[in-house]
Structure 1
Amino acid sequence: MQITAKMVQDLREKTGAGMMDCKKALTAADGDMELAIENLRKSGAAKAEKKSGRSTNQGKVLTAIDGNKASIVEVLCETDFAAKTDKFIDMVNKFAADMLNMPGNGDISAAVQEAEKSALTDQIGVIGENMQIRRAVKWEGGERYVSYHHDGGRVSVLVEVEGESDPAILNDICLHIAAFRPSYITENDVPAEVIEKEKEIAAAADPKLKDKPAAMLDKILSGKIRKFFSEVCLVDQPWVRDDKTTLAKLRPNCKVTRFVRWEVGEEL
């Protein structure tokens, strides 16, 4: 059967595969469109298997928000060039949107990896690089969600907020988290073992503290822990717009209940 340019174009629109791959698939299927699609998917799976051991440290972190649901997903690929293509970005956005309709309220990485396995394999065949869905979180039931993407999704932030807020402060909260990388929201969120370890480090770092009376040592270490909180707690860090104040002082009735800050390829 003669393979026409129209047939090749139709297959390309259906699959996103390259023109030559489409022509080869149609030729092998003797013009049968459904069989050609199946062949391309098998080809994609074969390519994915061959590429599975190749390093992936580029990609995107993107989000989706719809009412009281929000999601964030990190998808990795091999090169920055591929990460910036419309095909890759559209795929990651689709994964984030799909997640909004999945069950769960927290880490759903394994479920997303399984649900999108076939779609990811297809895109490996189209884009030509190894790719992986590294991690995914979905939230629901929050009062308000806001997100921010730096450098096109190289660093992304998702925040759940309740209480008094407006678009400007929500945007600034995202900017602050992206820039200052807080580990906790408030001092109450810092585990007791982390605080004790910081006290231990502070005491060992200054030999002069060794012979201090217990009461005086406790007071000194408490001051060092307050400084530690100002370094790692979102509401106590010097504010992104004015380092003379903090979010706790600036907006005491605006409560951040959850946040995620992810950077492509960072150590977990």
Structure 2
Amino acid sequence: MAFTAADVKNLREMTGVGMMDCKKALTASEGDIEKAVEWLREKGMAASAKKAGRIAAEGMSYATVVDGVGVMVEVNAETDFVAKNEKFVEFVKGVAATVAKQNPADLDALMECKYEGTDLTVTQQQQEMVLVIGENIKVRRFARYADGVSVPYVHAGGKIGVLVNLSVEGGIDATEIGKDVAMQVAALNPRFWDKSQVTQDILDEEKKIMMVQMENDPKMASKPEQVREKIVMGKLNKFYAENCLLQQEFVKDNTTSVEKYMASASKALGGSVTFKDAVRFETGEGIEKKEENFAAEIASLVK
């Protein structure tokens, strides 16, 4: 019985086992999913397979620089308690080192990479961690900057991670500038890095909303359309200041913007720093968390 790529994906989601092992299991079981799960359990993956279906929405977002390469990873666990476990933290750091040194193309490729310092793949090392820690653990995503100067920032023990990538000239140390910008990103989570990224359709939608708001305001509705247009343009500048990182008010000095702070701080150091890109991971964002009802769970046990 033949199997498809969708079957491999399905088996991987069911068990948390790596893609290559899922293919082997389906081949050995002639495409039968249930037999493939049994095959994986017989090969010593039972514990991780049983836990793989449990929701992992806690964990750690971790940013670092390894030999000049900036890396950000998010690894999930089931509980916040495990996210503080020393072995879990070391596993996260090992995943980041693997990303830095092996430059995987995507998450699937990362999971098949040799976990740094071992002969195991990342998938196999992840399974080992499941067995040791006793919770479902899952590498979720990563980002990597090979060029420029990267500055990492980890907030609240990994609740939020930010990696800022800069272009630095003049031989200056831009670490403090990068960290300040990263903290700004962590705190305010801007929709855009720069106003140049705001497309015309977004501006048109914002303008439309503002015009409707004024039409619904008796004081504004009576003003000539030209006046309302000017008011809207002023509000759009405020939109940039609220939604675009470089135009935002700098949180450590509300008298200046982020881009002006970067320019003045780098000039004072004798060089120049230009913002290139950044990535912000908030641990568990977008994952639907299971609501636990412990009273109902206990009641069900004593029936």
Q: TM tier, shorter chain?
A: 0.7 to 0.9
- Cα contact 2:70–2:152 (8 A) shared by 1: no
Gaps of 5+ in 1: 1-38
Q: Which amino acid aligns with 2:174?
A: D
Mapped to 1, the partners of 2:250 and 2:196 lie a distance apart of 19
2:146 is aligned to 140
Mapped to 2, the partners of 1:232 and 1:41 lie a distance apart of 53
- Of 240, 252, 275 in structure 2, the residue corresponding to residue 256 of structure 1 is 275
2:284 is aligned to 265
1:220 is aligned to 231
- Cα contact 1:238–1:245 (8 A) shared by 2: yes
**1:111 positional shift:** 2.5
1:112 is aligned to 110
- Cα contact 2:160–2:186 (8 A) shared by 1: yes
May I ask how many residue pairs the two structures share in their alignment? 226
**1:68 positional shift:** 4.1
2:78 is aligned to 78
2:246 is aligned to 235
Q: Which amino acid aligns with 1:177?
A: V
Is residue 193 from structure 1 mapped to residue 201 from structure 2 by the alignment? yes
Mapped to 2, the partners of 1:170 and 1:215 lie a distance apart of 42
Mapped to 2, the partners of 1:211 and 1:109 lie a distance apart of 56
Mapped to 2, the partners of 1:173 and 1:51 lie a distance apart of 39
- Cα contact 2:72–2:163 (8 A) shared by 1: yes
1:160 is aligned to 165
Mapped to 2, the partners of 1:47 and 1:197 lie a distance apart of 51
**1:54 positional shift:** 0.9
- Cα contact 1:150–1:156 (8 A) shared by 2: yes
| 1:95-134 alignment runs, 5 A limit | 95-103=95-103, 108-115=106-113, 116-134=122-140
2:116 is aligned to none
CA deviation map 1:115-159 (0-9, x unaligned): 422221121111111111111111212x21100111111111100
CA deviation map 1:243-267 (0-9, x unaligned): 1211222223532111111111112
What percentage of aligned pairs have identical amino acids? 31
Is residue 184 from structure 1 mapped to residue 189 from structure 2 by the alignment? no
CA deviation map 1:155-198 (0-9, x unaligned): 11100011356332222112111112112111001222222221
- Cα contact 2:167–2:275 (8 A) shared by 1: yes
- Of 152, 156, 177 in structure 2, the residue corresponding to residue 169 of structure 1 is 177
Mapped to 1, the partners of 2:139 and 2:69 lie a distance apart of 20
CA deviation map 1:15-60 (0-9, x unaligned): xxxxxxxxxxxxxxxxxxxxxxxx99943x2111111221111100
Q: Which amino acid aligns with 1:160?
A: N
2:269 is aligned to none
**1:110 positional shift:** 3.4
| TM-score between both structures, scaled by the size of structure 2 | 0.68
Q: Which amino acid aligns with 2:182?
A: C
- Cα contact 1:58–1:264 (8 A) shared by 2: yes
Classify the secondary structure of the residue corresponding to 1:182: coil
Gaps of 5+ in 2: 1-39, 114-121, 264-271, 288-303
Classify the secondary structure of the residue corresponding to 1:135: strand
- Cα contact 1:109–1:137 (8 A) shared by 2: no
- Cα contact 1:108–1:137 (8 A) shared by 2: no
CA deviation map 1:57-76 (0-9, x unaligned): 11001123134421111010
- Cα contact 1:61–1:154 (8 A) shared by 2: yes
Is residue 46 from structure 1 mapped to residue 46 from structure 2 by the alignment? yes
Mapped to 1, the partners of 2:110 and 2:229 lie a distance apart of 48
Taking only aligned residues, the RMSD between alpha carbons, in angstroms, comes to 2.4
